[in-house]
Amino acid sequence: MNQVLKPAAATGRVLNIQRYCSHDGPGIRTNVFLKGCSLRCKWCGNPESIRPKPELAYDPRTCTGKKACGLCLKPPFPEGAFYVVEGDDDKVRVNWDLAGGCDEALVALCPTGALSMFGKTMTVDEVLDEVEKDSSFYRNTGGGITLSGGECLLQPDFSAALLAGAHERGINTAIETACNVPWAFVEKVLPHVDTMLHDHKLTIPERHLKWTGASNERILANFKKAYETFPDIDFIARTPLIPGVNADEEHIRAVLAFIRPHKNVIDYELLPYHRFGLGKYEHLGKVYELDDYRTPSDEVVRHLRAIIDEAFGRSSQETPAGK
């Protein structure tokens, strides 16, 4: 293994390590969410992963208020960053525009944990030691580590080192990516990947730009090049299914037309849009951009899945091998 790719002390910005995951690659997996994303999808379920640096989070439910605490209303907390309004509601509020100076040390002063930070810096070995705790599950189920985000390819050296290190420890590797990065980043990471879950969010470049903040032309070019350059990787296409955005037959058929010529794209999964991430927006002081949207109906999901099953030449009940 290339030693340059695996300096044990190399560090990256990790949002979260989530064990016992079953939907992000084969078997039972540990998902490692990295900080930073190069898209701004309006439906994003992980808003805390978007910014590359650690950032302040606030949970009003655990705040005990000004009378009981009020610590953050005084120095050393930044002036004007926290405040209370007149009336019965004694809970502290955050002026997110003035709270930019809050770091981990300051947040640690909050006695109730209402203030916290999303994201921390970790070494390759720290992450892998945590991941390795579930080795027995991986062996029994074919599982392993899945790098997710954010966009894990935005930290190509760290991601490559993590995945190479996982392979050295005998752990299966997968990544979950939207691939909106330069090809050089992709090329650095993919040699260490067993399964690549990749998002086909929208087909038409202008619509992709509208809903995610960037065009998909480079993304599609990256996908095609990846399919052709790394024939041994299992590629699984995915679409987060959002009614009124992409939950339509036209998009599904366009994705199928793109992926089916490539035999190493072994499946196409639909991820019905959910609103689980909504609470996180509150904690970050962000406004959820798709608040009026609802999950797609079972009928729509079934219909679109049937189209995919037909394209893969299987009945609707079958699933691809290893899944």
Q: Write out the residues near other proteins by the rule CB under 8 A.
A: 37-40, 42, 51, 60-61, 80, 83, 85-88, 93-100, 154, 180-182, 212-215, 218, 278, 281-282, 285-293
Residue with Cβ nearer other proteins (28 or 247): 247
- DSSP 3-state assignment of 257? helix
Residue with Cβ nearer other proteins (7 or 205): 205
Q: 236 pairs with which residues across the strands?
A: 197, 267
Residue whose structure tokens are 């970790």:
122
Answer whether 222's CB lies under 8 Å from 179's CB: yes
> What residues contact residue 256 under an 8 Å CB cut-off, 6+ apart?
268, 307, 308, 311
CB of 287 to other proteins, least distance (A): 5
CB of 286 to other proteins, least distance (A): 7
Closest alpha carbon to 163 in 174, 153, 154, 176? 174
Residue with Cβ nearer other proteins (135 or 295): 295
C-alpha to C-alpha distance for 213 and 121, rounded to whole angstroms: 27
Residue with Cβ nearer other proteins (184 or 321): 184
Q: 120 pairs with which residues across the strands?
A: 14
Answer whether 159's CB lies under 8 Å from 175's CB: yes
CB of 71 to other proteins, least distance (A): 17
Residue with Cβ nearer other proteins (42 or 303): 42
Question: How far separated are the first and last CA of the chain, in Å rounded?
Answer: 28
Interhelix angle 249-259/298-311, rounded to 10 degrees, is 30
C-alpha to C-alpha distance for 132 and 30, rounded to whole angstroms: 9
Residue with Cβ nearer other proteins (39 or 147): 39
CB of 208 to other proteins, least distance (A): 12
SS3 per-residue string spanning 78-146: CCCCEECCCCCCCCCEECCCCCCCCCHHHHCCCCCCCEEEECEEEEHHHHHHHHHCCHHHHHHHCCEEE
Residue with Cβ nearer other proteins (103 or 168): 103
**CA-atom Rg of the chain in angstroms:** 21
CB of 222 to other proteins, least distance (A): 11
> What residues contact residue 292 under an 8 Å CB cut-off, 6+ apart?
none
CB of 241 to other proteins, least distance (A): 18
CB of 38 to other proteins, least distance (A): 3
Residue with Cβ nearer other proteins (19 or 40): 40
CB of 204 to other proteins, least distance (A): 17
- DSSP 3-state assignment of 188? helix
